[in-house]
């Protein structure tokens, strides 16, 4: 009975992710004929479009992301570790699917309604994304696809855990500070790019330092 209940819960959870994947696609299809053939598919750090492509990108991207995140634990050489952060991985999938769906729908809305302030929302939404991911970063266990994957973290579980605990706090509080500051900074690219560098580089440098200390202590 307990196993059956767990399977039922797993099916329901997966159905929620699939539904959230399909909703922005449905919104796209409803408005398909009203959209131009060429739509924004790339944006600069301030949220302005600087690359255009087929509207099919917005059809394939959510589906591709859903299938990719579903497949990764099955092909990862360290697939057994996913069981140790199964709940966090589900939440990471949920966050990423919601983020892509929101971005896609916001772009479509902006194309349908001139004067949309999407470019202001994009940097803020990225800060929120890093904040949410930071909440679960410390729970991620060694694998080849999710997290900070450098030689020092992949070669030592201790370094992996310490690095991701630091990264989780850094991503959350750093992004929160960036989100608050974005309300007062006119050109958010001056804020977002340096912060992105910090969020990316600091955990990598920290992982190297910890790895070297552990190596010297052997």
pLDDT in tens, 158-168: 999 999 999 99
CA 41, CA 65: separation in Å to the nearest integer? 15
106 class by beta-carbon count within 10 Å (0-12 exposed, 13-18 middle, 19+ buried):
middle
Which of 143, 106, 140 is closest to 126 using CA atoms?
106
The residue range of the domain holding 183 is 2-217
List, for the chain, all residue ranges whose pLDDT scores fall below the cut of 50: none
The two structure tokens encoding residue 182 = 């974005």
SS3 assignment, position 42: strand
**Quick one: pLDDT at residue 46?**
65
What confidence score (pLDDT) does residue 134 get? 94
Continuous segment of H or E residues that includes residue 184: none
Confidence at residue 109, expressed as pLDDT on a 0 to 100 scale: 87
Q: Which pLDDT value is given to residue 140?
A: 95
For 103, the token pair is 């971005």
**Residue 41: predicted pLDDT:** 82
Question: What are φ and ψ of residue 113, in 5° steps?
Answer: -125, 100
Domain count, the chain: 1
Q: How many helices (H) and strands (E) does the chain have?
A: 7, 2
- In angstroms, rounded to a whole number, what is the distance separating the alpha carbons of residues 39 and 78? 39
Collapsing DSSP states into helix, strand and coil, what is residue 39?
strand
How far apart are alpha carbons 170 and 13 in whole angstroms?
29
| Cβ atoms 119, 125 nearer than 8 A | no
Look at strands 49-54 and 38-43 and give their pairing. antiparallel
Record the tokens describing residue 106, joined without a space: 């916001």
Token pair listed for 171: 């991503």
């Amino acid at each position: 009975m307990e196993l059956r209940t767990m399977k039922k819960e797993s099916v329901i959870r997966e159905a929620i992710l699939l539904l959230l994947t399909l909703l922005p696609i449905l919104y796209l299809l409803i408005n398909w004929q009203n959209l131009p053939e060429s739509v924004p598919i790339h944006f600069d750090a301030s949220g302005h479009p600087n690359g255009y492509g087929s509207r099919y990108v917005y059809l394939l991207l959510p589906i591709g992301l859903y299938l990719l995140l579903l497949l990764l634990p099955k092909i990862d050489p360290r697939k057994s570790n996913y069981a140790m952060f199964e709940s966090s991985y589900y939440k990471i999938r949920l966050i990423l699917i919601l983020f892509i769906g929101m971005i896609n729908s916001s772009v479509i809305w902006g194309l349908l309604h001139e004067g949309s302030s999407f470019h202001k929302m994009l940097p803020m939404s990225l800060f929120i994304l890093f904040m949410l991911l930071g909440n679960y970063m410390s729970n991620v266990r060694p694998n080849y696809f999710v997290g900070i994957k450098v030689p020092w973290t992949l070669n030592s579980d201790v370094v992996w855990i310490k690095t991701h605990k630091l990264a989780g706090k850094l991503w959350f509080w750093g992004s929160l500070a960036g989100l608050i500051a974005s309300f007062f900074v006119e050109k958010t690219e001056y804020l977002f790019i340096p912060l992105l560098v910090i969020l990316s580089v600091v955990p990598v440098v920290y992982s190297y330092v910890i790895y070297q200390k552990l190596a010297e202590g052997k």
